[in-house]
Structure 1
């Protein structure tokens, strides 16, 4: 007697009947990462692909990129899932962004806790809702009365420990909502001041009698330079906003030793290690074809910063 066919309802489809689906994304370099952290600088690259599984990468973040954008671009080039940054830089800012890859992501908090150095420009007499150039100028006040002597005195008053109110245009969460989202909706949210410390705040006019103030700041984590610009204006009896910002150092790690993002992505995609020719001289001149990038080797994080050459960190001289 022929066996009756089982009903097809609820029956699992055979492999041939299943719709075509793209294969899951596979991340490369799956062998165990090195126990030592590799510091990837302008003149040092990992000796092999697997070393990227425990790498700290120095990037000079380009203008208009978010810190998340930079992580995503490196994640795609390396095909490594775990990629994170050690301290956000706004899209309007440039400079040093430390990217931790693979096992090195465990060290993110170490870099976040380090003091930072910034340079930039503050514009007197004009205020914006975001305290920087992201928003249009909404208020103008006289600034011509401010002398160079008073400018230096006001900057010195910010040195040492203090309390700083975070700006509304920030990524801080209050009751589950990002402050910048509330700000863009025209809402003002109550927030608590934060303890910060500033060891250096050097200021000078970009030209005699100019409203443009160039500055250098060395400060603790959690310091908002946009808020500093706004507060400086108020202390001077006017208004001000941050016109330009560049992060030049984190701890003893200097932006001069960082990779340009597109250059490093190109190196990673073409898998050129060790003997790659230096793309740009530190002076910004044409490449010297005789100079090659050295393999980074295995550098512990404590030794990695000392391997970075040419950065004086927070011992550098004031603005001249």
Structure 2
């Protein structure tokens, strides 16, 4: 496990045992794709075997685990680890992507929604639950990434998946904003959770911000800022 102990310097990557492999805990910046991180590191390290252990959407920030060398053989282990997210949903509006990647496509009054209804609803999502992945996702649909089809305006039906949500904490409410923290298992889409939450309230919702703060024992506060790491090599 490689995390931050001091401000990163250009020789940082020279200290890594790339042949044996390493696991880098990195902070993904806003707007970068998870593959952007992999691509930059692959170029800098001149190593073919580089892969991430769980996608973060471009509009999400936070912890991303990247494996190199022989560690890429056990990426599935890291993908299976429990994850923690903090986020903000906005009630009363929806978008096709369930975040701000796409424009608003509906607006519904939300003023009647009570705080007690919000807290009560959050508790119903705990445990094993079925959710449909967002159309704007990296899941493959007939050999093509779903988000590519969605951006072309193609309609598709993705199969529901069973996911596990250990906790869903409503941190604060200032309507239409709800800030929350979710602890969940592999394969959980927070955008789908937000979509389902807004739908059950009858007003719709979209994800305004998302940050992954923990993966297993890896914590965001211990992670390296990947933008700072790669800057000397640009």
Instruction: Decide: shared fold, TM above 0.5.
Output: yes
What's 1:7 paired with?
none
By how many angstroms is 1:48 displaced? 6.0
Structure 2 residue matching 1:167: 3-state secondary structure: coil
- Which has the larger strand fraction? 2
Distance 2:13 2:195 in 1: 46
By how many angstroms is 1:74 displaced? 1.3
Structure 2 residue matching 1:152: 3-state secondary structure: helix
Q: 1:57 to 1:125 in 2, by over 3 A?
A: same
Distance 1:194 1:172 in 2: 12
Report which of the two structures shows the higher radius of gyration computed on alpha carbons: 1
* Structural RMSD (CA): 1.8
Q: Is the 8 Å Cα contact of residues 13 and 45 (structure 2) preserved in structure 1? A: no
Q: Report matched runs for 1:1-320 at 5 Å.
A: 39-43=1-5, 49=15, 51-53=17-19, 54-207=21-174, 210-265=175-230
By how many angstroms is 1:166 displaced? 1.0
Structure 1 residue matching 2:22: 3-state secondary structure: strand
Structure 1 residue matching 2:18: 3-state secondary structure: helix
By how many angstroms is 1:72 displaced? 1.2
Structure 1 residue matching 2:43: 3-state secondary structure: helix
Tell me the matched-pair count. Answer: 228
Q: Is the 8 Å Cα contact of residues 57 and 99 (structure 1) preserved in structure 2? A: yes
By how many angstroms is 1:140 displaced? 0.3
Structure 2 residue matching 1:122: 3-state secondary structure: strand
Q: Where in structure 2 are there 5+ consecutive unaligned residues?
A: none
Distance 2:13 2:56 in 1: 29
- Which has the larger helix fraction? 2
Distance 2:67 2:52 in 1: 6
Distance 2:142 2:194 in 1: 27
**TM-score scaled to structure 2, two decimals?**
0.92
By how many angstroms is 1:180 displaced? 1.3
Structure 2 residue matching 1:52: 3-state secondary structure: coil
Q: Is the 8 Å Cα contact of residues 96 and 105 (structure 2) preserved in structure 1? A: yes
